[in-house]
Amino acid sequence: MNVFARPTPEARGLGMTSQRARDRLIDRLKADGIADRRVLDVLRRLPRHLFVEEALASRAYEDTALPIGQAQTISQPWVVARMTEALIEHKVPAKVLEIGTGSGYQAAVLAALCGNVYTVERIEELLRNARRRFRKLGIENLRSRHDDGKLGWPEHAPFDAIILTAAGEAVDPILFDQLAPDGVLIAPVGPPGTQQLLRYRQADNGWAAQSLGAVSFVPLLGGLG
């Protein structure tokens, strides 16, 4: 699944979007505790500058969230890395559902590591831009849908893993219904200012949550935008 093996000149970048800039980002992520070599290798190769507006491309390899329009952001690279390594820590899932495509960056990271990725986005303009990026990068093991992410994608359930890229007060039970019994769900949960990144796995008495630390995400909204 070597989807970034032959980057175009545009994907390789120049100056602040060059491979050297990406390498500096990886060094920062390592220093801040990201240890999974598989995740670091993907982030080193994936051209994040293609997932932001051209005016912000020079900031693409800073470890910070950036606006992508529609009051949404592309997540901080450390957060993407932490969520991804938590998702694949116990096993690499064959089928992943992402709620909230956004720029498409997290979905592209997952597609480089997992078997098949399904991603749902409620804002049509964001999804249209993300699909264009997926085509440019030649990602073939990814399907996308314009829909209310709170509903998941039941036609393709069960999923080995589900990841949410926006925060709700709690995880809707409908998503757990679409998760395989031995699956894992990663989600930011809680109101603004007190959100925690949680990893849910099956326990004797149901789905048990493990906190992976404090985070800050845009709110998870229903309906279509």
Q: Average pLDDT per run of 10 along the chain, which is 225 residues long?
A: 51 67 96 97 96 94 94 94 97 97 98 98 97 96 96 97 95 96 96 94 92 92 87
**Residue 93 covered by a domain:** yes
Backbone phi and psi for residue 39, each to the nearest 5 degrees, phi listed first: -70, -45
Question: In terms of Cα–Cα distance, which of 76, 89, 81, 75 is closest to 34?
Answer: 81
What per-residue confidence (pLDDT) applies to 9?
A: 54
Query: In this predicted structure, what is the pLDDT of residue 8?
Result: 56
- The per-residue pLDDT for 18 is 83
Provide the residue range defining the domain that includes 145.
64-214
Q: Is residue 190 part of a domain?
A: yes
Distance between CA atoms of residues 173 and 145, nearest Å: 21
Nearest to 130 by CA among 101, 106, 109, 152: 101
Does the bond joining 158 to the residue before it have cis omega, within 30 degrees of 0? Answer: yes
Catalytic: which of 75, 144, 211, 216? 75
Tokens in use for 113?
């590591």
Classify residue 140: in a domain, yes or no: yes
**216 has catalytic annotation:** no
Question: Looking at residue 153, which CATH number applies to its domain?
Answer: 3.40.50.150
170 is a domain residue: yes
For residues 152-167, b (16+ Cβ closer than 10 Å) or e, as one string?
Answer: bbeeebebbbbbbbbb
- Whether 89 is in a domain gets the answer yes
Count up the domains in the chain and report the number: 1
List the beta bridge partners of residue 145. 120
In a domain, 162, yes or no: yes
Residue 141 lies in a domain: yes
For residue 196, the one-letter residue type is: Q
> Is 126 part of any domain?
yes
pTM (2 d.p.): 0.91
Phi, psi of 106 (to 5 degrees): -60, -40
| DSSP assignments along 137-148, one per residue | HT--SEEEEES-
pLDDT at 205: 85
Give the C-alpha separation, 194 to 126, whole Å. 27
Identify any residues that bridge with 15 across adjacent strands, giving them in sequence order: none
- Give me the pLDDT at residue 5, please: 46
CA angle 101, 105, 106 (to 5 degrees): 70
